[in-house]
Amino acid sequence: MNNEVISQGVKRQFKDDLFEQFARIGKALSSGRRLELLELLAQRERSVEELASEAALSVANCSQHLQILRAAQLVAVRRDGLFSRYRLADEQVLRLWLSFRQLGEARLAEVSRVVETYLKDRRALEAITNDQLIARLRTNDVVVLDVRPEEEFRAGHIAAARSIPITMLEQRLKEIPQRSTIVAYCRGPYCVFADDAVGLLRKHGYQAYRLQNGFPEWKMQGLPTATGAQS
SS3 letters across the chain: CHHHHHHHHHHHHHHHHHHHHHHHHHHHCCCHHHHHHHHHHCCCCEEHHHHHHHHCCCHHHHHHHHHHHHHCCCEEEEEECCEEEEEECCHHHHHHHHHHHHHHHHHCHHHHHHHHHHCHHHHHCCEECHHHHHHHHHCCCEEEEECCCHHHHHHCEECCCEECCHHHCHHHHHHCCCCCEEEEECCCCCCCHHHHHHHHHHHCCCEEEEECCCHHHHHHCCCCEECCCCC
Nearest alpha carbon to residue 181 among 128, 138, 144, 134: 144
* Catalytic pick among 40, 186, 197, 201: 186
Question: For the purposes of burial, counting CB atoms within 10 Å of the CB of 166, is it exposed (0-12), middle (13-18) or buried (19 or more)?
Answer: buried
The verdict on whether 191 is a catalytic residue reads no
- Residues with catalytic roles: 186
